[in-house]
Structure 1
Amino acid sequence: MNANATKTLIAVVAGLAVIGDAFLLFVKPHLGNGTAGSRSVASGAIGGSSPSPSSGTASSEAADSGSALRDGTYTSVATPNEYGEVQLQVTVSGGAITDIAAIAYPNHTNRSQAVSAQAIPQLIDRAISAQSARIQYVSGATETSTAFANSLQDAINQSLNAGK
């Protein structure tokens, strides 16, 4: 398979994932009931600092839709991008995302290692603060940010669907 065919296949798979996520975010939540708890703090898996402790009401799609995240640890699918894969392990406690660990991230070149070391901790902080995969991307790390958000959404979907 040539490089263009590979990129096209990745784009198609990513598009299908977006469609599936859209269904789970905008259609399925209206079918369930529940509440989301308040969020806690977490630590990043690679480089960077931990987020500051804070509390508040979760503002994720789960909270907006009335569906609660189910407690547990969820490992997302590995989401490919041009520079590698992003795979996350997300911990939910008290109905909120309390920890995110990047178990796979682009690190095949010095450049991708540097971008990941800078971007992943920021993305983790933003996701825990937002309690959502709807986060602001890191400038200069668009591919990694996109893969991170898609991977996070997969783990969130697993939590929303756990025990159903």
Structure 2
Amino acid sequence: MRRIVTWLLATVAVVVLLFGYKTSTGSAAAPATSVAAPAAGSQARSASNGSFTGESTSTEWGDVQVVITVAGGRITDVQVPVYPDGNRRDQQINARALPVLTRETLAAQSADIDMVSGATVTSEGYLGSLQSALDQAGLA
């Protein structure tokens, strides 16, 4: 009886883990590195308006640099002109990771965002450059 209960619990655990696993369904197209901010009615912060280029952050796989556009104290656009793309694997990872990072930045209006699983190195470089741009804009 104990073996049956143990087997049943193990089977349920495996099924739950399998259904919880998120697979990649996107194509390997070039990353969309510019995402416009959704309209929001939150309060504007005291900051400069314009484009602010973060310092290029060196990573294990290449440099990452973020440019933000600020209007009315809000981040309205995020671009990533520099990112690792030296090989097919870098291109695949960043095609998936960069749009997620830019959407998260626009939603959070800060560098307080989650890193993208499987793109840790790019995420770390992105966050470093983003924080530099936010500091320049007075949004830190």
TM-aligned CA distance change 1:68 to 1:49, over 3 Å: closer
* Deviations 1:43-82, CA, capped at 9 Å, x for gaps: xx93389467341426xxxx7xxx6221110111111111
**CA–CA distance in structure 1, aligned partners of residues 81 and 34 of structure 2:** 17
1:95 lines up with 2:73 in the alignment: yes
**Do the aligned partners of 1:48 and 1:118 also contact (CA within 8 Å) in 2?**
no
Shift of 1:132: 0.4
2:95 pairs, out of 109, 117, 121, with: 117
Query: How many corresponding residue pairs?
Result: 110
TM-aligned CA distance change 1:51 to 1:158, over 3 Å: closer
2:32 pairs, out of 37, 47, 66, with: 47
The aligned counterpart of 2:64 is 86
**Do the aligned partners of 2:33 and 2:79 also contact (CA within 8 Å) in 1?**
no
Instruction: Give the alignment's TM-score, normalised by structure 1.
Output: 0.61
- Please state whether the residue corresponding to 2:69 is helix, strand or coil: strand
**CA–CA distance in structure 2, aligned partners of residues 49 and 93 of structure 1:** 16
Alignment RMSD: 2.4
The aligned counterpart of 2:52 is 74
Instruction: Give the alignment's TM-score, normalised by structure 2.
Output: 0.70
The aligned counterpart of 1:148 is 126
The aligned counterpart of 1:159 is 137
1:129 lines up with 2:114 in the alignment: no
**CA–CA distance in structure 1, aligned partners of residues 136 and 67 of structure 2:** 11
- Please state whether the residue corresponding to 1:86 is helix, strand or coil: strand
Give the AA of the match of 1:152.
Answer: L
**CA–CA distance in structure 2, aligned partners of residues 52 and 68 of structure 1:** 18
Percent identity, aligned pairs only?
Answer: 40
**Do the aligned partners of 1:85 and 1:147 also contact (CA within 8 Å) in 2?**
yes
Uncovered stretches (5+) of structure 1, i.e. residues with no partner: 1-44
**Do the aligned partners of 1:46 and 1:102 also contact (CA within 8 Å) in 2?**
no
Give the AA of the match of 1:121.
Answer: P
**Do the aligned partners of 2:35 and 2:77 also contact (CA within 8 Å) in 1?**
no
1 or 2, which has the higher strand percentage?
A: 2
Uncovered stretches (5+) of structure 2, i.e. residues with no partner: 1-29
* Deviations 1:18-54, CA, capped at 9 Å, x for gaps: xxxxxxxxxxxxxxxxxxxxxxxxxxx9338946734
**Do the aligned partners of 1:84 and 1:105 also contact (CA within 8 Å) in 2?**
yes
2:42 pairs, out of 47, 52, 57, with: 57
